[in-house]
């Protein structure tokens, strides 16, 4: 792993290389983070051709692919074990049309709706980045959720399992993602539960690969969960069951976040 000064040099190099690349407008930040087993990664926040800034969790494998796609001569600045192959990949499902949100009076797609200064999607992505797990954003158009899952699993077929996370869960906690990932090391399927209600992300081990690839339609992965011995993981995280479907959900989420911020301020006094 390069020293911090070296990381900055690589950032400057990457910024120069990104000039003229249509899908990457600007690299805005780079920092080092600690993952499980003291493995290091680089987290690069970059802006793409939409109004939002996404952060990409770049591990040794994906970094090589991304950087070499831009400029094969940049080489490999990451001298570390391949930690991505030991962890499940978070699949963020962002392919839905969000018709209920529009029908409720929403002026935009629900994932682009603003929530305390950020989009719903950005809240979810921030939590995923904070988990330190590799991830894939599936935002291409598909006939149903099952098709979206199958497409994403196909694109990440070498992953060591998958955490299926709908993108409309802005309250999900990074710790919950890591807890499901850890539990998945000894289970075929892991389903998080908050106060008796099943939620997300649902974890699937590699033994479920073919079943996930066969998914079609709107039912998602429910039948895969039913086909295996699913472990229920109790989590103290309402974010795993709190999704955004309507304009009213956004308003309720704004109120909840405001109350949480007020409570945190009072606790710090």
Q: Domains of the chain: which residue ranges?
A: 4-83, 87-247
- Which DSSP letter does residue 1 get? -
Task: Give the confidence band of 220 by pLDDT, cuts at 50, 70, 90.
Answer: confident
* Phi, psi angles (nearest 5°) of residue 194: -120, 110
**2-16, 109-123, 127-141, 155-169: segment of lowest average pLDDT:** 2-16
Work out the number of other CB atoms within 10 angstroms of the CB of residue 219: 12
Query: Which H helix or E strand runs over 190?
Result: strand 189-194
What is the structure's pLDDT at 118?
Answer: 92
- 112-135: average pLDDT: 94
What is the structure's pLDDT at 186?
Answer: 92
Candidates 192, 140, 191, 188; CA nearest to 167 is 140
What is the structure's pLDDT at 172?
Answer: 96
Instruction: Look at residue 130 and tell me whether its pLDDT is greater than 70.
Output: yes
**27-31, 74-78, 111-115, 213-217: segment of lowest average pLDDT:** 74-78
What is the structure's pLDDT at 129?
Answer: 95
Q: Give the β-pairing of 40-47 and 114-115.
A: unpaired
Question: Three-class SS of residue 171?
Answer: coil
Tell me the C-alpha distance between 255 and 160, whole Å. 38
Sign of CA dihedral 251, 253, 256, 262: negative
How many residues does this entry show for the chain?
269
Sign of CA dihedral 129, 131, 132, 138: negative
What count of Cα atoms within 13 Å lies in the side-chain half-sphere of residue 136?
A: 23
The reply to whether CATH 3.90.550.10 applies to domain 87-247 is yes
* Residues linked to residue 192 through DSSP beta bridges, in sequence order: 233
Q: What is the pTM of this model?
A: 0.69
Most confident of 16-20, 53-57, 180-184: 180-184
What is the structure's pLDDT at 266?
Answer: 59
Average pLDDT, the chain: 74
What is the structure's pLDDT at 85?
Answer: 57
* Phi, psi angles (nearest 5°) of residue 44: -110, 120
């Amino acid at each position: 792993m390069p020293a911090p000064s070296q990381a900055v040099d690589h950032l400057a190099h990457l910024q120069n290389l990104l000039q003229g690349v249509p899908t990457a407008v600007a690299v805005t930040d780079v920092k080092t983070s600690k993952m499980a087993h003291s493995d290091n990664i680089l987290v690069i926040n970059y802006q793409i051709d939409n109004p939002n800034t996404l952060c990409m969790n770049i591990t040794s494998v994906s970094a090589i692919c991304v950087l070499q796609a831009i400029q094969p001569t940049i080489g490999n600045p990451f001298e570390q074990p391949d930690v991505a192959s030991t962890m499940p990949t978070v699949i963020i499902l962002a392919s839905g049309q969000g018709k209920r949100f529009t029908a409720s009076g929403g002026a935009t797609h629900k994932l682009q709706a603003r929530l305390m200064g950020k989009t719903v999607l950005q809240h979810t992505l921030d939590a995923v980045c904070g988990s330190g797990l590799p991830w894939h954003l599936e935002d291409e158009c598909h006939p149903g959720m099952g098709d979206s899952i199958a497409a994403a699993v196909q694109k990440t077929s070498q992953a060591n399992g998958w955490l299926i996370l709908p993108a409309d869960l802005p309250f999900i906690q990074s710790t919950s993602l890591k807890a499901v990932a850890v539990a998945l090391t000894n289970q075929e399927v892991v389903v998080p539960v908050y106060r008796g209600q099943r939620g997300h992300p649902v974890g699937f081990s590699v033994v479920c690969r073919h079943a996930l690839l066969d998914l079609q339609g709107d039912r998602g992965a429910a039948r895969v969960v039913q086909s295996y011995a699913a472990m229920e993981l109790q989590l103290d995280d309402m974010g795993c069951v709190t999704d955004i479907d309507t304009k009213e959900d956004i308003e309720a989420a704004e109120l909840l976040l405001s109350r949480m911020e007020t409570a945190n301020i009072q606790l710090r006094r």
